[in-house]
Amino acid sequence: MRKLRAMTLVAGAAVLVAMTGFATSPAAQAERSSGQDVVEYRVHDAVKSGDALEAAGLDVVSRRDGNDLFVLGDDATGGKLSALGFRAEVSQRTHQEGWAAPARPAGAGLQDETYDGGYHTVNAHYANMDAAASAHPDLASVVTYGQSWLKQQNKGGYALKAICIAKKAAGDCALNPNSTKPRFLLQAQVHAREIATGEMAYKYIDYLVGGYGTDPAVTNLLNTTEVWVVPIVNPDGVNLVQQGGNNPVLHRKNADFTAADLARCGDTAGSQPGVDINRNFSYHWQSNTSKCDQTTSTSNGAGDSEPETKALEALWANLFGDHRADGASDKPDVGARGTALMLHSYAGIIILPWEYTNTAHTPSDTPFRTMGKAMSQFSGYPYGQAGDLLYNAPGGSDDYAYGKLGIASFTIELGDQGGSCDGFTPSYSCVDGTFWPYMLKTFNYLAGKAASPYK
Ligand SMILES: [Zn+2]
């Protein structure tokens, strides 16, 4: 039985910070204070029905136990599951209590601004990257690679930012694929509510810039490899999440509310507006125009409709080049270098392409499974194609990165295999205590494979 989270905020020296991005209406605060329950259901013998549950608009939460899947919703979701013929029971219930804004200790820098017990805000992530680059100009450069949907609309929003970390020589950290050093790209929080993933990116940046010259493994890595980190793929979405303060809003998608807005969908785990960036990539893309679904895949009837998606595709092409003929069954060419990892939560699994289907394997299946097995030894997470472990996920990042460009691209879902660090918003102590030791080894392993992932 899993422990429910304590939802109290430690006040102490915290001060509330008034700034752009935290504007939250009194009505929204009152609604959160009134106490909505987020209910997780165990759905029995549903392992073959993941796609059907998704198609019914239910929020399958990337976790399984034997033949059971888990669905997140509210008190009404149980009836919906019964009506669909599933046997389900409540496995976890989280009560949302009083709202508290993101905050930082008096005198602390913006990079220490946090919510929900320690999770960093978008502005804190960006300030941390800037601080790393200004303290270590020989090691780190911050690159703006696009604009979020809200930014493009002139409605606030954020620049899309990456940091390149390497012992820089002439020509390093440039946005073209002709780099001297091979590249590893780490990306987090494409799904905004998967808040522990961004912390892994934050910690890896600090680990690298702090370890050069003192930690031989870091020194060697940065002398030979460019490490790129995008800590927040979906900053507009994360801004919605962090506005929940100590009760993060379980928003998954971006903030492109063209098709439907908060008035129509609400903003709960099971119903929300926006587009799922990780169903929007245009390789084996599939249409889902249900506006309040978790996996709405487009705003205009086609893939690549979202600026966050297109900007990431352009970043990949700039960092890695094109090593594969589109849609063909050929392997990436012998010169293909580079590895990439997209972090999610909270199934506790390692996913390799293809993700749109599990009835076909990629031409690189053997090296992918070799790398999956190696990573599995760090975390104990099982590895395989998405449809074998959970459900098929068309329009995802890895299928595009590998299918169009030939990048050795993986997804890892953080997780605790049913333990107390499962959930989208685990206690902050899980970041250091559970996830970081696994992930540090995993990131360093994949960075080490950047020179020749297919050999
Ligand atoms: Zn996810």
- For residue range 93-142, list pLDDT tens digits in order: 765 555 566 888 888 888 889 999 999 999 999 999 999 999 999 999 99
**Rounded distance from Cα 414 to ligand 1 centre (Å):** 10
Write the DSSP symbol of residue 59. E
What is the pLDDT at residue 54? 80
For 233, 301, 380, the CA distances from 59, given in Å and listed in that order, are 21, 22, 25
User: 7 pLDDT exceeds 80?
Assistant: no
Instruction: Report residue 31's pLDDT band, with 50, 70 and 90 as the boundaries.
Output: very low
Query: Are 186 and 179 within 8 A, CB to CB?
Result: no
What is the 116 CA–ligand 1 centroid distance (Å)?
Answer: 19
Predicted confidence band at 12 (pLDDT cuts at 50, 70, 90)? very low
The two tokens of residue 287 are 């249409």
Q: From the CA of 345, how far away is ligand 1's center (Å)?
A: 6
Would the pLDDT of 1 be above 80?
no
- Look at phi and psi of residue 302 and say left if phi exceeds 0, alpha if psi is from -120 to 50, else beta: beta
411 CA to centre of ligand 1 in angstroms: 9
In angstroms, what is the span from residue 190 Cα to ligand 1's centroid?
Answer: 7
Among 1.20.1540, 3.90.105, 1.10.443, 3.30.70, what is the CATH number of 38-95? Answer: 3.30.70
Distance 348 CA to ligand 1 centre (A): 11
pLDDT at 32: 43
Residue with tokens 């809003």: 249
What contacts 149, CB < 8 A, 6 or more positions away? 157, 236, 254, 255, 256, 306, 307, 308
Indicate the pLDDT class of residue 49, thresholds 50, 70 and 90. confident
Q: What Cα–Cα distance (Å) separates residue 242 from each residue in 16, 21, 137, 195, 315? A: 13, 9, 30, 9, 26
Q: Percentage of the chain with pLDDT > 90?
A: 70
Total-model pTM: 0.84
Q: Is 56 exposed, middle or buried (0-12, 13-18, 19+ CB in 10 A)?
A: middle
Establish whether domains 38-95 and 107-253+262-448 are of one fold. no
**Residue-range domain boundaries for the chain:** 38-95, 107-253+262-448
Res 269: pLDDT: 86
- What's the mean pLDDT in 256-273? 91
**Amino acid type, 237:** G
CATH 3.40.630.10 fits 107-253+262-448, yes or no: yes
- The β-bridge relationship of strands 339-345 and 383-384 is unpaired
